[in-house]
Structure 1
Amino acid sequence: MEHIYNNLQDFFRSMGLPLQQDTELTVHPLDGLHSDQPIEAPLFRTNYYSFLLIRSGKSTYAINGHVFDLGPYSFYFTNPGHLKSFKIEVPLEGYMLTFSEMFIRQYFTSDFYQHFPFLIHETTPVMRLEQGDFAGLEVLFQQMEQEYLSHSPYRNPILANYLYILLYKTKSLLVTYQALTIKTQNRGAEIARDFKGLLKANFRSLYEGKASKVLSIKEYADALHMHPNYLSTVVKAETGKSPTDWIQERTLAEAQTLLTNSTKTITEITFQLGFSDTSHFAKFFKRHAGQSPAAYRKATAL
């Protein structure tokens, strides 16, 4: 059975490699992350986005049944929830960037995925870049690494702006290299994709004041014209997480974003997220975040 990793630190710990992580966005050189010996990772899923820029080395990477060769000037990304594995034959040099849904919610607006729809698509092929395109991206990754290693109190907002640039460059490269999304023939994957699209749309409507509550699993199932139990089974099989897990994680991320980046009162946030009262919201938040909404807001205030 595949394992699900919530962050990069957990993933490398599983491989016996130490790596510290204290933010929801990380930038690391690939040099030295793995041993000099060939290494093969069993099937796994991650709950974060990964972008890899490879200067040299040799590897194969498999996602959702598709296998890609990686070598010099390779650039690719993976989205949360997909089943993947990799095998490194010659040590890789380059950069790896990871970021979470929470980071997106904290630093970007509700129409984020409308600008970057490739972040919710199915499998996207590896791009083999021309030297000039590779060099431009490498400079950007180097700048991000330098900021990531800094102790600036504004490190995360600066990294968010760099990420915005990277995503627009990625969007442009997808067109230049015609790296079209690989359409899956798996009906289960299509259902999981459609569910995640509806989930994002619901929270976007909540953010914009166009919806009054978080949709239930039954309401998602009705929208997709299927039984709730079938939806739950399919989403769990395809992503490793149940619809309930997806809804709760998104609710928590939205709550944390509002507590950190808005001046709304806890009562206002309670009703914006569709909770019936502040007590219910406070219990939900403490159960998932380990502290009360008020304590979280105080701890994250600059």
Structure 2
Amino acid sequence: MKEKEPTSKTLADLYEMMGLPVDLISTESGFTIHSLKETFKDLPFKSIAYRPDYFSFVFVKNAYGKYIIDEMGFDINPGTIYFTNPGNYRSFEWSEITDAYLITFNEFYLKEHVHPDVYQDFSFLLTEIVQPRLMLPAQFADIEQLYRQIHKEQLGKSPYKNKIIGSLFVALLLKIKEYFWQDYNPIYEGNRSSSIVKIFKKNLEEHYRAIVFGQENSLYRVQDYADLQHLHPNYLSSVIKTKTGKPVSMWISEKTVAEAKSLLHNSEASIKEISFMLGFSEATHFSNYFKKYTELTPVAYRKLQNSKS
């Protein structure tokens, strides 16, 4: 699948592509925070369209402009928080900035400095329903106090900088969850409206159909399914596991075994032919794989099914 727009692995990458200063951006830890007023001094400004490989929060105390995310346009107004995920196409325009801050962070930072299983407590980070959140003044004041303290620590020289920022960021995420996402259910979204889950299942079905019809001769890995959606494999894995209850590897293994059972029961192909058909280089590898998940060898499974006919 051909990528239509540039991918930004870090905020510094994006700013460099657009000719913006990067001296305020430190991406070493996977976390950045800065005042947008210090970067966008020549207004109005219109960005390129891009696909980021990181999460972001924009805290708009007093600014105006427009965000376009996956072809949905939102006006930027005072008192608003914008949250975006890796992978969404987006662009933005600024017409006026008096006070606005941007935080970006990647999954490595979350797992290193927030919690190894961060999506258990903060599953809303994987939400795909991208809507700006307009805050009450008192709510925004709570949030502002936290992100300004984070910015202060980021500029400081404390040997405990990352731990302090990590703790403050947890408090920020908890406040955001309290105000907006207490009732977010990732499984519900996974079943009803998750485009990532739907596309993954579609790609899974199409790939195995191509394998059975001889159009493909190798099994896709997590990386391959992630590439089809222009996502980082870790992010795809997190979305699928959180929203379906099963990791990508289990979806792949269950589909492989299901196709193997169907071929063993409904075709006259030999075990060797079926193993090659399903992308295994050796029949013994296929037999071991099949037995791992069914406790039967392919030969024993075929005999058992034939005895029932």
Q: TM-score, normalised by structure 2?
A: 0.61
Match for residue 227 of structure 2 among 222, 225, 236: 236
Secondary structure of the equivalent of 1:239?
coil
Pick one of 126, 136, 140 that aligns with 2:146. 140
**Structure 1 vs Structure 2: percent identity of aligned residues?**
26
1:117 to 104, 123, 139: 123
CA contact (8 A) 1:124 1:180 kept: no
Higher Cα Rg: structure 1 or 2? 2
Q: Which residue of the partner structure matches residue 189 of structure 1?
A: 196
Deviation (angstroms), 1:14: 1.2
In 2 relative to 1, CA 226–171 (structure 1 residues): closer, same or farther, beyond 3 Å? farther
Q: 1:226 to 1:55 in 2, by over 3 A?
A: farther
In 1, are the aligned partners of 2:63 and 2:100 still within 8 Å (CA)?
no
Show structure 1 runs of 4+ deviating over 6 A.
178-181, 183-187, 224-227, 230-234, 244-247
Cα-Cα RMSD: 3.6
1:158 to 1:226, Cα distance in 2 relative to 1, 3 A: farther
Q: How do 1:1-302 residues align onto structure 2 when only pairs under 5 Å count?
A: 1-20=4-23, 21=26, 22-91=28-97, 93-175=99-181, 189-191=196-198, 221=204, 235-239=226-230, 243=233
Deviation at 1:187, TM superposition (A): 7.8
Spell out, residue by residue over 1:187-220, the C-alpha distance to the aligned partner (whole angstroms, 9 max, x if none).
Answer: 853345779xxxxxxxxxxxxxxxxxxxxxxxx9
Is the 8 Å Cα contact of residues 125 and 179 (structure 1) preserved in structure 2? no
Checking the alignment, whether the CA contact within 8 Å between 1:82 and 1:239 is kept in structure 2 is no
Unaligned runs of 5+ in 2: 211-218, 238-309
Deviations 1:51-88 (A, max 9, x none): 11011121111112221111111112111111111122
Q: Residue 164 of structure 1 aligns to which amino acid in structure 2?
A: V
Instruction: Output the CA distance in 2 between the equivalents of 1:105 and 1:79.
Output: 16
Contact 1:78 1:123 in 2 (8 A): no
Structure 1 residue 42, shift from structure 2 partner: 2.4
Amino acid at match of 1:3: P
* Counterpart AA for 1:34: F
1:123 CA displacement = 2.9
CA distance 1:8–1:231, shift in 2 (3 Å): closer
Q: Contact between 2:124 and 2:184, CA under 8 Å: does it hold in 1?
A: no
Q: How many residues align?
A: 220
Q: Secondary structure at the match of 1:90?
A: strand
Alpha-carbon separation, structure 1, partners of 2:165 and 2:230:
28
Structure possessing the higher relative contact order (Cα contacts under 8 Å, 6 or more residues apart) = 1
| 1:156-206 C-alpha deviation (Å, 9 max, x unpaired) | 011110110111111112148x9999x7998853345779xxxxxxxxxxx
CA 1:111–1:186 in structure 2 vs 1: closer, same or farther (change >3 Å)?
A: closer
With over 3 angstroms needed to count, the CA separation of the structure-2 counterparts of 1:186 and 1:141, relative to structure 1, is closer
Distance in 1 (alpha carbons) for counterparts of 2:175 and 2:209:
38
Tell me, yes or no, if the aligned pair for 2:69 and 2:89 is still in contact at 8 Å.
yes
Change in Cα spacing, 1:77 to 1:225, as seen in structure 2 (3 Å) is farther
CA 1:131–1:96: 2 relative to 1, 3 Å: same
Alpha carbons of 1:28 and 1:193: their partners in 2 closer, same or farther (altered >3 Å)?
A: farther
Give the conservation status (yes or no) of the 8 Å contact 1:126–1:179. no
For 2:134 and 2:226, the matched residues in 1 are separated by 32
Matched-pair contact (CA < 8 Å) for 2:111–2:117: no
Q: 1:109 Cα shift?
A: 3.1
The amino acid of 1:41's aligned partner reads: S
SS in 2 for 1:35: coil
